[in-house]
């Protein structure tokens, strides 16, 4: 845990969130029934270690500044290679934390190779590659467990990846908090890129990135297709998680909807009430306790601390605007 940096998003809390989500997909989602015990151990350990040492910058940033990490890994999955190598180097240097020390050579080699594969496949540039591979296997073998014997790594890759992008699969209040953590980190990178005269990475330019729209696109093109595919194999994911993703998409669309001002009568479509005014300071600061409390994901049950859907809390008329 101490090897995780104090950055707004890719910190030890994110690792714990991914670990908890992997556990849910394994146990309540039913994925564990397709895997051997050592494979379950591998994906749990990979969840803990998958972002260890993340410095809050993406692969493109490291590539553009030709960082030591970029040089070490030849510009290929820079951060992911760094995370994988960091955890195994630490265990080699300090045998007291080598939890695999009692495994035989065959088991240790299998565990290491599987963890490395999964961590490297969390690289978002490989998203469509792994999603296509998974959908192809599901179409070929369906839910017949013994036919998955030669395709375990495809399932493991998507399992860890889906947990890594699971923010918008949580209740909206928690999904919104995670969104703010992520955008805070992205904007800090964008500010640094601007300062260095580098092209600003996608979602890192605070001047043009719209909070709600960024999540609408992420859900529609990344999160929802991933969990829909996973739900074809795991009915619990289809029945419990996919509807929540749809609900979050609905909530973000509400925040993206133009609102008429009660003070000026009918207004042109171009005039809107900006409910997503940039809340992020331009100057990067040390993450606060509030930033680090993007935690305690809820993946079961439909109660959300008595909160009603936003559509029930907001009533709009020509003469009043009530929340």
Q: Which residues are catalytic?
A: 10
- Written as six digits, the tokens of 311 are 């559509």
Residue 15's closest CA among 42, 54, 62? 54
Neighbours of 35 (CB within 10 A): 19
Residue 25's closest CA among 196, 236, 181, 286? 236
Residue 44 to residues 23, 48, 127, 159, 254, Cα–Cα distance (Å):
7, 7, 20, 10, 36
Confirm if 15 and 48 have CB atoms less than 8 A apart. Answer: yes
Confirm if 254 and 316 have CB atoms less than 8 A apart. Answer: no
How many CA atoms lie less than 13 Å away from 67 in the CB half-sphere?
Answer: 17
Question: Is 321 in a helix, a strand, or coil?
Answer: strand
How many CA atoms lie less than 13 Å away from 42 in the CB half-sphere?
Answer: 26
Rg (CA), the chain: 21
């Amino acid at each position: 845990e101490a090897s995780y940096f104090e950055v707004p998003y890719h910190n030890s809390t994110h690792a714990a969130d991914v670990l908890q989500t992997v556990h849910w997909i394994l146990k309540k989602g039913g994925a564990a029934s397709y895997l051997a015990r050592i494979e379950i151990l591998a994906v749990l350990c990979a969840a803990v270690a998958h972002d260890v040492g993340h410095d809050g910058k993406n692969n493109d940033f490291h590539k553009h500044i030709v960082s030591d990490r970029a040089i070490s890994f030849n510009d290929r999955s820079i951060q992911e290679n760094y995370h994988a190598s960091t955890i195994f180097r630490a265990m080699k240097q300090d045998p007291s934390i080598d939890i695999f020390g009692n495994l035989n050579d065959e088991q240790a080699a299998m565990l290491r190779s599987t963890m490395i594969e999964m961590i490297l496949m969390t690289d978002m540039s490989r998203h469509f590659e792994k999603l296509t591979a998974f959908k192809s296997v599901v179409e070929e073998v369906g839910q017949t467990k013994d036919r998955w014997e030669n395709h375990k790594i495809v399932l493991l890759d998507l399992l860890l990846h889906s947990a890594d992008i699971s923010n918008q699969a949580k209740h909206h209040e928690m999904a919104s908090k995670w969104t703010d953590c992520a955008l805070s980190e992205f904007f800090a990178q964008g500010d640094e890129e601007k300062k260095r005269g580098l092209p600003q990475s996608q979602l890192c330019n605070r001047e043009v990135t719209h909070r709600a729209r960024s999540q609408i696109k992420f859900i529609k093109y990344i999160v929802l297709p991933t969990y829909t595919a996973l739900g074809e194999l795991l009915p619990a994911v289809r029945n419990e998680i996919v509807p929540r993703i749809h609900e979050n998409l609905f909530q973000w669309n509400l925040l993206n909807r133009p609102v008429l001002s009660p003070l000026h009568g009918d207004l042109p479509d171009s005039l809107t009430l900006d409910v997503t005014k940039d809340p992020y300071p331009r100057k990067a600061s040390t993450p606060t306790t509030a930033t680090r409390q993007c935690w305690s994901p809820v993946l079961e049950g439909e109660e959300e601390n008595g909160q009603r859907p936003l559509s029930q809390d907001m009533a709009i008329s020509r003469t009043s605007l009530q929340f």
